[in-house]
Amino acid sequence: MTEPIRVFIVDDHDLFRAGVRNELGSAIEVIGEASEVEAAIELIAERSPDVVLLDVHMPGGGGKAVLERTKDANPGVAFLALSASDAAEDVVAIIRAGARGYVTKTIAPHELVAAIERVHGGDAVFSPRLAGFVLDAFSHIAIADIDPELDLLTDRERDVLRHIARGYTYKETGEQLFISVKTVESHMSSVLRKLQLSNRHELTKWATDRKLI
């Protein structure tokens, strides 16, 4: 049997942390938790978990502050954002800060475990809503100054995103498109990279309007 994935939980709601700890099965080992930004930064550096479950909304800067202050010093840690809100500005801000995925807190336990395994494996995790938002943001072709490497989605990436937005899992998406799960994963990683690096107006305006960047 392989080593369990070592997970660190950052959330200011005690009940939620307790709930997640109970839901995660044997494949996951919770090695610590924090309820505030400063403590989280310290403990993540100390224990270097595989995956950090990160609440988006917390006093003192939220999950984004934790990400920005731990990411560079801990390159081996993957961050999965969890939030009650799936407002577009929250989703985009945390993904662009470096989270490898985003799921809402209503996610079913087995799906949360799958999401943790996926970000640990270096892949991206998109909720249907995030997939829909990315399709929306990339759908208007800019007139000038576009970097086709970063600012445009390929047809295949669009197909994959549409299936995710329709509620398909990666496996189901692969079956529908006659490609392997690995290929679906690499398409989604590429979409994640574009989402994080593109300077497209549609992607930055949410964050800058609300002074998140």
The residue ranges that bind other proteins (CB under 8 A) are 85, 87, 128-129, 131-132, 135-136, 139, 162, 165-168
Q: Which is nearer to other proteins, 122 or 167 (CB)?
A: 167
Q: Which is nearer to other proteins, 85 or 121 (CB)?
A: 85
Task: Write down the least CB distance from residue 135 to other proteins, Å.
Answer: 5
Tell me how far CA of residue 42 lies from CA of 34, 45, 73, 181, 206, in angstroms: 10, 5, 11, 36, 30
Tokens at 161, concatenated: 């995103």
Task: Write down the least CB distance from residue 109 to other proteins, Å.
Answer: 14
Tokens at 75, concatenated: 């390159």
Residues 6+ apart with CB under 8 A from 165: 128, 129, 131, 132, 135
Q: Which is nearer to other proteins, 13 or 162 (CB)?
A: 162
CB 57 within 8 A of CB 66: no
Q: Which is nearer to other proteins, 52 or 112 (CB)?
A: 112
Distance CA 37, CA 33 (A): 11
Task: Write down the least CB distance from residue 96 to other proteins, Å.
Answer: 19
Return the number of other C-beta atoms located less than 10 Å from residue 178's C-beta: 7
Task: Write down the least CB distance from residue 202 to other proteins, Å.
Answer: 12
Task: Write down the least CB distance from residue 87 to other proteins, Å.
Answer: 5
Buried b (16+ CB within 10 A) or exposed e, 193-206: ebbbebebebbbeb
Return the number of other C-beta atoms located less than 10 Å from residue 208's C-beta: 10
Task: Write down the least CB distance from residue 86 to other proteins, Å.
Answer: 9
Q: Which is nearer to other proteins, 73 or 84 (CB)?
A: 84
Q: Which is nearer to other proteins, 95 or 131 (CB)?
A: 131
